[in-house]
């Protein structure tokens, strides 16, 4: 942590102040390290400025305090002592103004600054001390604005990364990029789960892992964050959430003022991603699960999960297969913790009041709004909507729940007709599902193949088989309409 005596403002590189042509400052002694920064500009004509300095200042003086004969046999060590007190106070640099007291910078002062490593600037007569101070504040304000912009852009990129199908690796990559270092997520057992950025050496990795152990919950009084440095690299560790045991570790070559804020934002996002998304009590969900396993019907269990009607959402990521963390993040984005990850599809049970919206990197199929007793039918609707969304390359497709002509036929009669018409292919579910998908996509071989994840020749063979078994012409629009009606009744 920085010295609390240093003003909490972005420092100004001394080189930036020297580059101001309107000031015409000239460095005549001391190191010219580009890493030298100043936090303040202060004017003082005290012979001993030590009590009045906070540290990090550019001290400005016209030499009014310098006694006559300083640097000579009368006062041989005056400038040595003066510079030593500035260095002891933490002063960053000394600016000496020419006129009205001195026409040139005293050579003994130049020698003392060179010997003690204090940058010495010559301030020309036309440049006022107030002008120098104003320039420092201008540069400081520019640095502050740039830092705020950097932090804001980092927050936005981290939030966008958290909404991707691979949220944890994406957040770590963004964090590592923003701090120009290495970011790693440790599990409750201390094992490295994921990392991004420039890999740290063995010693640094061990030091960061050790620092992560400091903040991992171990009892009352455990800190939530800790910092350290090793071999010129800044290390930081952040505990994620209350008692979860996950820890974020960061190793960076430097520690800019906004880096802590950026890392803290990443820690909050990772805490949400690694923890269970809560929209109700975990006890109620556990109770609902137990009752279902013991044979309770869904309508009796649904009140434990929340009142009202429900939607079923099926989702698949556009790139890679989903993992449990990505599935949990999707559930959080849709507003429900009721998430199921099965192979390549994530299923989410969403309260009807939370209308699903498209999610970047995902393709979604949404069922009609149903009562708990109709959950199985809604699951089928969502699966079909997802298949259509993938076939048409649409981010989100909803199942149509409008009343149509099918509602004019009594359900029992419609079901009996469907069973009789589709009996020849009923024993082969793949044929019926292929026919239904093919009809829903207006007879497109390619789209049906994409929706069913099979080759287009397989689709042709199945449709030809259906036509033969049903002894009908599937190219006839009337036949297609009747088959579609029957398939919907199934």
For residues 417 and 482, the answer to whether their CB atoms sit within 8 Å is: no
| Residue 69, domain member (yes or no) | yes
In terms of Cα–Cα distance, which of 154, 152, 196, 170 is closest to 360?
Answer: 170
| Residue 65, domain member (yes or no) | yes
Express each pLDDT in 361-419 by its tens digit: 889 999 988 888 888 889 989 988 898 888 888 889 988 744 455 545 666 777 888 88
Cα gap 436→443, rounded to integer Å: 10
Confidence of residue 440 (pLDDT cuts 50, 70, 90): confident
31/120 same-domain check:
yes
| Residue 382, domain member (yes or no) | yes
**Cα dihedral 172, 176, 178, 180 in deg (nearest 10):** 180
In terms of Cα–Cα distance, which of 41, 269, 260 is closest to 140?
Answer: 41
Instruction: Pick the last residue of a domain from 398, 416, 442.
Output: 398
> How many CB atoms are closer than 10 A to CB 459?
24
φ, ψ for residue 260 (rounded to 5)?
-65, -40
For residues 470 and 480, the answer to whether their CB atoms sit within 8 Å is: no
What is the number of helices (H) and of strands (E) in the chain? 16, 17
Confidence of residue 308 (pLDDT cuts 50, 70, 90): confident
Quick one: pLDDT at residue 74?
A: 66
In terms of Cα–Cα distance, which of 385, 364, 270 is closest to 318?
Answer: 364
Cα gap 276→286, rounded to integer Å: 13
293/354 same-domain check:
yes
| Residue 394, domain member (yes or no) | yes
Secondary structure letter of residue 52 according to DSSP:
G
φ, ψ for residue 274 (rounded to 5)?
-85, -20
440/481 same-domain check:
yes
Residue 280, pLDDT above cutoff 50: no
Helix ranges (H only) for 198-297 are 202-215, 259-274, 282-293
Average pLDDT over residues 295-322: 80
CA dihedral over 420, 424, 427, 433, signed as positive or negative? negative
Partners of 398 in the β-ladder: 366
Instruction: Measure the CA angle with vertex 160, ends 155 and 161; round to 5°.
Output: 95
418/352 same-domain check:
no
Instruction: Pick the last residue of a domain from 219, 251, 274.
Output: 274
Secondary structure letter of residue 201 according to DSSP:
P
CATH number, domain containing residue 180 = 3.30.450.30
Average pLDDT over residues 272-279: 58
Quick one: pLDDT at residue 220?
A: 67
| Residue 149, domain member (yes or no) | no
Average pLDDT over residues 200-221: 82
Q: Give percent of the chain above pLDDT 70.
A: 90
Quick one: pLDDT at residue 218?
A: 65
Give residue 40's domain range.
12-140
Instruction: Pick the last residue of a domain from 216, 246, 274.
Output: 274
Partners of 345 in the β-ladder: 342
230/313 same-domain check:
no
Average pLDDT over residues 73-97: 91
Quick one: pLDDT at residue 24?
A: 95
**pLDDT-wise least confident of 99-113, 130-144, 160-174, 450-464:** 160-174
Residue 134, pLDDT above cutoff 90: yes
Average pLDDT over residues 40-69: 93
130/211 same-domain check:
no
135/65 same-domain check:
yes
Exposure of 436 in the CB half-sphere (CA atoms within 13 A): 24
SS (H, E, C) 398-444: ECCCCCCHHHHCCHHHHHHHHHHHHHHHHCCHHHHHHHHHHHHCCCC
| Residue 22, domain member (yes or no) | yes
* Helix, strand, coil content of the chain in percent (nearest 5): 45, 20, 35
Quick one: pLDDT at residue 486?
A: 85
Express each pLDDT in 227-264 by its tens digit: 898 888 899 999 886 556 789 999 998 877 788 888 88
Average model confidence (pLDDT) for the chain?
Answer: 85
CATH number, domain containing residue 40 = 3.40.1390.20
| Residue 477, domain member (yes or no) | yes
384/423 same-domain check:
no
Confidence of residue 4 (pLDDT cuts 50, 70, 90): very low
Residue 309, pLDDT above cutoff 60: yes
Express each pLDDT in 5-28 by its tens digit: 444 567 899 999 999 999 999 999
270/214 same-domain check:
yes
Quick one: pLDDT at residue 148?
A: 84
Quick one: pLDDT at residue 334?
A: 82
Quick one: pLDDT at residue 403?
A: 45
Give the DSSP H or E segment for 162: helix 129-162
Confidence of residue 98 (pLDDT cuts 50, 70, 90): very high
More confident residue, 134 or 292: 134
Please tell me which of 56-60, 301-305, 344-348 the model is most confident about, judged by mean pLDDT: 56-60
Overall number of domains in the chain? 4
Tokens of 144: 């502050």
394/329 same-domain check:
yes
270/287 same-domain check:
no
Quick one: pLDDT at residue 45?
A: 94
CA 48 to chain centre: 50
- The contacts of residue 42 (CB under 8 Å, 6+ apart) are 52, 53, 57, 58, 59, 60
Partners of 248 in the β-ladder: 185, 238
CATH number, domain containing residue 476 = 1.10.10.2840
For residues 171 and 270, the answer to whether their CB atoms sit within 8 Å is: yes
Q: Strand pairing of 57-61 and 93-97?
A: parallel
17/133 same-domain check:
yes
Confidence of residue 490 (pLDDT cuts 50, 70, 90): low
What does pTM read for this prediction?
A: 0.48
């Amino acid at each position: 942590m920085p010295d609390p005596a240093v003003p909490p403002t972005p420092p100004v590189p001394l080189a930036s102040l020297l580059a101001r042509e309107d000031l015409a400052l000239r460095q005549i002694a001391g190191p010219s390290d580009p890493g030298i920064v100043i936090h303040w500009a202060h004017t003082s004509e005290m012979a001993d400025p030590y009590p009045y300095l906070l540290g990090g200042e550019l001290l400005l003086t016209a030499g009014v305090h310098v006694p006559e004969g300083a640097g000579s046999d009368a006062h041989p060590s005056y400038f040595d002592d003066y510079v030593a007190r500035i260095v002891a106070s933490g002063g960053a640099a000394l600016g000496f103004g020419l006129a009205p007291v001195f026409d040139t910078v005293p050579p003994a002062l130049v020698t003392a600054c060179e010997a003690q490593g204090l940058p010495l600037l010559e301030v020309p007569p036309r440049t006022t001390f107030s002008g120098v101070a104003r320039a420092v504040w201008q540069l400081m304000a520019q640095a502050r604005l740039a830092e705020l912009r950097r932090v804001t852009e980092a927050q936005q990129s981290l939030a966008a990364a958290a909404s991707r199908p691979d949220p944890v690796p994406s957040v770590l990559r963004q964090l590592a990029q923003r701090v120009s270092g290495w970011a790693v997520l440790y599990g409750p057992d201390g094992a490295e789960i994921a990392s991004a950025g420039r890999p740290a050496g063995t010693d640094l990795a061990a030091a960061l892992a050790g620092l992560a152990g400091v903040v991992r919950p171990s009892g009352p009084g455990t800190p939530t964050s800790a910092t350290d440095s090793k071999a010129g690299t800044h290390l930081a560790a952040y505990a994620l959430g209350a008692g979860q045991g996950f820890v974020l570790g960061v190793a960076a070559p430097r520690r800019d003022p906004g880096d802590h804020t950026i890392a803290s934002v990443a820690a909050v996002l990772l805490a949400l991603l690694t923890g269970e998304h809560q929209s109700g009590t975990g006890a109620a969900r556990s109770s609902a699960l137990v009752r279902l396993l013991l044979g309770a019907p869904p309508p009796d269990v649904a009140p434990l999960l929340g009142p009202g009607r429900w939607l079923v959402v099926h989702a698949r990521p556009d790139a890679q297969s989903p993992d449990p963390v990505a599935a949990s993040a999707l559930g959080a984005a849709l507003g429900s913790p009721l998430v199921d990850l099965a192979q390549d599809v994530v299923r989410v049970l969403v309260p009807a009041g939370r209308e699903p919206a498209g999610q970047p990197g995902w393709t979604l199929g949404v069922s009609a709004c149903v009562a708990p007793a109709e959950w199985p039918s809604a699951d089928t609707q969502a699966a079909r909507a997802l298949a259509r969304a993938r076939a048409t390359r649409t981010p989100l497709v909803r199942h149509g729940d409008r009343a149509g002509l099918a509602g004019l036929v009594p359900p029992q009669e419609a079901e009996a007709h469907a069973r009789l018409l589709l009996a020849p292919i009923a024993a082969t579910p793949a044929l019926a599902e292929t026919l239904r998908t093919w009809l829903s996509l207006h007879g497109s071989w390619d789209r049906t193949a994409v929706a069913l994840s099979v080759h287009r020749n397989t689709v042709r063979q199945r449709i030809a088989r259906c036509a033969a078994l049903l002894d009908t012409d599937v190219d006839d629009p009337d036949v297609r309409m009747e088959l579609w009606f029957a398939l919907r009744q199934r």
